[in-house]
Amino acid sequence: MAFETEPDDTNKSNKARLFEINTEDITEHSRNNKIRQYCCTVCEKRFARKWDMKTHKRTHTGEKPFACTVCDKRFTRKVGLNEHKRIHTECSRYPCSKCEKSFASRDSLRIHQYIHTSKYKCKECGKYYGSNTRLTIHKQIHSGEKPFGCSVCGKRFARAEHLMVHIKVHSEDKPYKCHMCEQMFRWSEALKSHMRVHTGDKPYKCSLCNKCFRLQGHLQIHKRQVHSNIRPYLCTHCGKTFATDSSMKRHVLIHTGAKPYSCSHCSERFRQIIQLKDHLLKSHDGGTWFTCHICQKKCSRDSNLKAHIRRHEVVKPYVCSECPKRFYTAGELKDHLLSH
């Protein structure tokens, strides 16, 4: 016959100690998992996993190593490419439960659903966001607000991480060295981008004219300048508009008369650094001429030589978005677009 006995206090104590030990172990394990030991060298954002940090760095470099073989669109992550591929291979498989729309990826559906569920809507453009923080950051596009100022030069930024990246411009520390030309860089990403100068690699291709670029930012500027009529930058002196901020600033020098670039051999001064380089080459033999292999014509700039060779080969890569006409140079296309 079995008899019930009171639980042994010693066993209860052991069990309690065992539970306490396990709880501490679990707590400590959880705490270790949250340690973010990998730091972005550009904006100092921290990550728990090295791969997440490497993926994040592509937001600074513009690197998008995963390309769609159908439409040439590029992605920073492979998962983004895989979801994009469904656009070409499958019907929209993710339906919205609130309306009749369907989407090719979960991310696209999630972003769409903000329309039905989110209370964070931009009153200026109607976009929805998942949090008030994201909406506040977005609003700065419309307001032009730049609350973060550099204490060294006064330049202002819309986001704190952009200021942190900028501050390194004032630092003399350049630990990354090119083994081919010994040029030094503050960031490893800048060195990687620079190496394309030596390798000739241009991974970013324009889908409209097939021109290729070393940096994604250069591709975006090209599309805005050549294939778009959008001119968001206004000259306050004459009202002329420009596709890029740098173009507008160069133009303003015409009004101010400033010539910040001076020749070290003579008293000549120039508004643009490219004008100074042309002067050094033509007047002081300081530089390298670019020679056409067909007619031996000499050009002061590599871009001028390429445009010259296109005329020999009758290649017109610049296509008008309004009509079927094609042109040798971006300048010729710009002049033509005025006729529309």
User: Would you place residue 4 in the very low, low, confident or very high pLDDT band (cuts 50, 70, 90)?
Assistant: very low
pLDDT in tens, 222-233: 887 778 777 778
Q: What b/e readout covers 256-290, taking b as 16+ CB neighbours within 10 angstroms?
A: eeeeebeeeeeeeebbeeeebbbbbbeeeeeeeeb
pLDDT in tens, 144-185: 778 888 888 888 887 777 787 777 777 777 777 888 777 788
Return d(Cα 316, Cα 311) in angstroms, integer: 8
Q: To the nearest whole number, what is the mean pLDDT of the chain?
A: 77
- Rounded to an integer, the average pLDDT of 308-317 is 87
User: Would you place residue 89 in the very low, low, confident or very high pLDDT band (cuts 50, 70, 90)?
Assistant: low
**pLDDT, position 244:** 78
pLDDT in tens, 100-148: 777 767 777 887 777 777 788 888 777 788 788 888 877 877 777 788 8
**pLDDT beyond 50 at 18:** no
**pLDDT, position 90:** 55
Q: Are 114 and 107 in contact (CB under 8 A)?
A: no
Q: Which helix (H) or strand (E) holds 298?
A: strand 298-299
**pLDDT, position 317:** 81
**pLDDT, position 295:** 92
The number of beta carbons lying within 10 Å of the beta carbon of residue 329 is: 19
- Rounded to an integer, the average pLDDT of 86-104 is 71
Q: What b/e readout covers 181-201, taking b as 16+ CB neighbours within 10 angstroms?
A: eeeebbbebbbebbeeeeeee
The phi, psi pair for 233, rounded to 5°, reads: -100, 120
Model-level pTM? 0.36
**pLDDT beyond 60 at 9:** no
Return d(Cα 29, Cα 22) in angstroms, integer: 10
Between the alpha carbon of residue 340 and those of residues 69, 221, 321, 333, the distances in Å are 34, 22, 10, 11
